[in-house]
Amino acid sequence: MCRPILSLLVWGTLVASGLGAEQMQLAPRTADAPLPGRPNVLMIAVDDLNSWVGCVGGHPLVKTPHMDALAARGTVFINAHGQSPLCTPSRTSLLAGLRPSTTGIYALEPWLRTVDKWRHWVTLPQYFRQHGYFTLTAGKVYHAVPPKDRPGEFEVWGPPAEVGVRPPKKLIPPTPMGNHPLMDWGTFEHRDEEKGDWRIATWAVDQLKALPREKPFFMAIGFFLPHVPCYVTERWLELYPDDDSILPPVCWYDRDDTPRFSWYLHWYLPEPRLRWMIANNQWRPFVRAYLASVSFVDSQIGRVLEALRDTGREQSTVVVLWGDNGYHLGEKLITGKNTLWEPSTRVPLIFAGPGVRPGGRCRQPVELLDIFPTLIELCGLPARADLEGISLVPQLRDPEAPRDRPAITTHNPGNHAVRSLRWRYIRYADGSEELYDLENDPHEWHNLAGDPRYADVVAEHRRWLPKVNEPPAPGSRSRLLVYNPQTGEAIWEGKPIAPQDPIPEE
């Protein structure tokens, strides 16, 4: 089949500003040609977006009208969970269709293609490209891809994910554990148009206006906020009251019944503990800035969805929106991610478009791992037996359709959470356990794992633990925890943790 060369050349002229020639290379067309009528795909990723989205119900005051409108014309999964509470393993899992415990990618490094076993693995965008889709991306979809590898992953690369304009100096006091420059939040004199996420949305709008209609596209864009630093303009901050009504509920005795090993997963990190936040009068400002960041990103998502509608593509495009991992804002006495509890694993997941029931609200536990096979089925591509997720098409047609397995989140080797419809079970690498009844204890304040009345519940959830637990891939580093069961030694980022070492709580 002849390709529409003229259309692609014209389109390339329109979109190529700032792109090098190597980024515009096309993949060899060695697989199936696109079938008439195949839908486009618009995938929207949001960094560190927890369940604080209106349609997900995670915060009573949050204002996210555009994500809520997307959910209204599609299906929202209110019990969706990432495969890892950390960006690199979570995004690698989603795009490769494999669990972190299968790939061995648990930390911020390595990049998938540096691991011999996965050097030639066909990822989600590559699979669509092989089947005739034109692929393009901007912002943060993968965590990081070296420039030399970018042409092999997507055909067109737009602007990267970035903060954009910054204040002259940090807005908050120096934080513990290194005073990391990203640990900052608040408002200063700047314009929304100066933010990196505005540039990503503008790029996406421009592409939607210029894309040829002769072939389907797979566009993936990734927004930076509400990842720290949460810099917002005053208009977004004013959406939220400057009082304690915005704070999540916490229990000061919350960690008394959690294993010591639970601290090892976030042993020494730049994200401040709740005690520091309160002592420095930063808890409320941070929560307010996080909520304001969510609302700002929602507005940028709205710009992209408006362009999709204005170009007449809304009815012919599958839209999927997801957050890569959750985020604590005081729950469990911490901020940040890197845990196996609900605030760190639960994320928004929304589908809309052809083949999706409008107004659907699914309570079944699902995984970001399921996105890959779902998009394949919705777009009529050949199914793949080598993926570890399960298609969500049954739930997209009927939100009450049952699922035959729970959602599983992994953080570093041997540490897993199993989330069913009612329960969260956690098993750490040293064998310690937690069990929470989310129906009666939605904040996970009461660990029931040691209660013999729940032995059958624990046993049922244990059987879902991954059978494969690959060691960390070569080159793994940054936020890496390993445990030696023979010696009982835990090693955090290359440094052993002694049993008597005090827990860093400030």
Give Cβ neighbours of residue 53 (< 8 Å, ≥ 6 apart).
62, 64, 67, 68, 294, 348
Q: Which residue has the higher pLDDT, 19 or 472?
A: 472
Q: In residues, how long is the chain?
A: 506
* pLDDT at residue 29 is higher than 60: no
What is the rounded average pLDDT of the residues 298-310? 98
CA distances from 55 to 61, 207, 289 (A): 12, 28, 20
Sort strands 366-367 and 74-81 into parallel, antiparallel or unpaired: parallel
49/467 Cα distance (integer angstroms): 29
205/244 Cα distance (integer angstroms): 38
- For 133-236, list the strands marked E by DSSP: 134-139, 156-157, 185-187, 217-223, 230-232
Sort strands 423-427 and 433-437 into parallel, antiparallel or unpaired: antiparallel
pLDDT tens profile 91-135: 999 999 999 999 999 999 999 999 999 999 999 999 999 999 999
Q: How many helices (H) and strands (E) does the chain have?
A: 15, 20
Q: Which residue has the higher pLDDT, 270 or 11?
A: 270
* pLDDT at residue 26 is higher than 90: no
Which range has the worst mean pLDDT, 23-27, 207-211, 224-228, 461-465?
Answer: 23-27
pLDDT tens profile 44-94: 999 999 999 999 999 999 999 999 999 999 999 999 999 999 999 999 999
* pLDDT at residue 360 is higher than 60: yes
299/195 Cα distance (integer angstroms): 13
pLDDT band at 505 (very low <50, low <70, confident <90, very high): confident
505/421 Cα distance (integer angstroms): 32
What is the rounded average pLDDT of the residues 23-44? 58
Give a three-class secondary structure readout of 261-279. HHHHCCCCCCCCEHHHHHH
pLDDT at 415: 98
CA–CA–CA angle 199, 200, 201 (5° rounding):
90
358/72 Cα distance (integer angstroms): 6
The pTM assigned to this predicted structure is 0.93
pLDDT band at 36 (very low <50, low <70, confident <90, very high): low
pLDDT at 37: 76
**And the tokens for 407?**
């959602």
344/183 Cα distance (integer angstroms): 18
> How many CB atoms lie under 10 A from the CB of residue 502?
6
Give Cβ neighbours of residue 350 (< 8 Å, ≥ 6 apart).
55, 67, 70, 71, 74, 75, 76, 77, 319, 320, 321, 322
Summary mean pLDDT of the chain: 93
Buried b (16+ CB within 10 A) or exposed e, 300-328: bbbbbbebbeebebbeebbbbbbbbbbbb
Residues known to be catalytic: 87, 143
Q: Which residue has the higher pLDDT, 29 or 356?
A: 356
Question: Do 452 and 459 contact (CB within 8 A), yes or no?
Answer: no
pLDDT tens profile 136-162: 999 999 999 999 999 999 999 999 999
pLDDT at 12: 35
pLDDT at 452: 98
CATH fold of 5-163+183-395 reads Alkaline Phosphatase, subunit A (3.40.720)
117/226 Cα distance (integer angstroms): 33
